């Protein structure tokens, strides 16, 4: 309520508002962003993703612990399975942080996803495409539809080290991704 708002605070608040309204932001590397935003460098250094990572106690998991419903996802199970498949395919070095990961072919992801969602071909393709679009829209996965390649979205950097342990175990149990067949 001060008459003369602190300029830096205002900038930070604006950046946080932008990130909240637009999801993870892709900005030039030299952009001076507000405080508290996680900066994720693109592998080729051409851009930086700004991601709001709340502390553990206030993160996405907190809602579940409190028994509150978070943002709703359509087809939550299929979407989660596809994300798991992407994790299996893109997280090639399980000892490193998931971001940036390595790109994987869409066919490879589909092959892993098929182990958990085996249906007739049309329904399978539809489920996979819908799931990857949802994940792309929310920044979990970056999906290049034309090149048929998938890689991690910036939001995976929000997983905590404890989460990563669970994910490593999960990856170990999942089927081996086949060699990238490009367009299987």
Give the residues lining the site for another protein (CB under 8 A). 19-23, 59-61, 63-64, 70-73, 76-81, 83-84, 87, 114-118, 134, 137-140, 155, 159, 163-164, 166-167, 170, 173-175
> Closest distance between another protein and the C-beta of residue 8, in Å?
23
Three state DSSP letters for the chain? CCCCCCHHHHHHHHHHHHHHHHCCEEECCCCCCCCCEEEEECCCCCCEEEEECCCHHHCHHHHHHHCCCCCCCCCHHHHHHHHHHHHHHHCCCCCCCCCCCCCEEHHHHHHHHHCCCCCCHHHHHHHHHHHHHHHHHCCCEEEECCCCEEEECHHHHHCCHHHHHHHHHHHHHCCCCCCCCCCC
Beta carbon of residue 71, minimum distance to another protein (angstroms, whole number): 5
CB of 170 to another protein, least distance (A): 5
Nearest distance, CB of residue 147 and another protein, angstroms: 23
Q: Which is nearer to another protein, 8 or 168 (CB)?
A: 168
* CB closer to another protein, 106 vs 159: 159
Nearer to another protein, 39 or 116 (CB): 116
42 or 163: CB nearest another protein: 163
């Amino acid at each position: 309520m001060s008459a003369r708002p602190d300029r830096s605070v205002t900038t930070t608040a604006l950046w946080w508002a932008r990130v909240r309204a637009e999801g993870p932001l892709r900005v030039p590397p030299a952009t001076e962003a507000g405080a508290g935003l996680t900066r994720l460098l693109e592998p080729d250094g051409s851009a930086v993703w700004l991601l709001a990572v709340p502390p553990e106690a206030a993160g996405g998991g907190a809602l579940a612990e409190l028994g509150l419903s978070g943002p709703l996802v359509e087809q939550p199970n299929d979407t989660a399975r596809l994300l798991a498949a992407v994790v299996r395919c893109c997280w090639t070095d399980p000892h490193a942080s998931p971001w940036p990961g390595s790109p994987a072919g869409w066919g490879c992801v589909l092959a892993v996803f098929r182990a958990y969602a085996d249906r007739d071909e049309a329904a399978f393709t539809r489920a996979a495409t819908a799931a990857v679009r949802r994940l792309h829209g929310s920044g979990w996965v970056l999906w290049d539809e034309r090149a048929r390649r998938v890689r991690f979205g910036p939001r995976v950097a929000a997983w905590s080290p404890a989460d990563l342990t669970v994910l490593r175990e999960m990856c170990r149990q999942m089927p081996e991704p086949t060699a990238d067949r490009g367009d299987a």
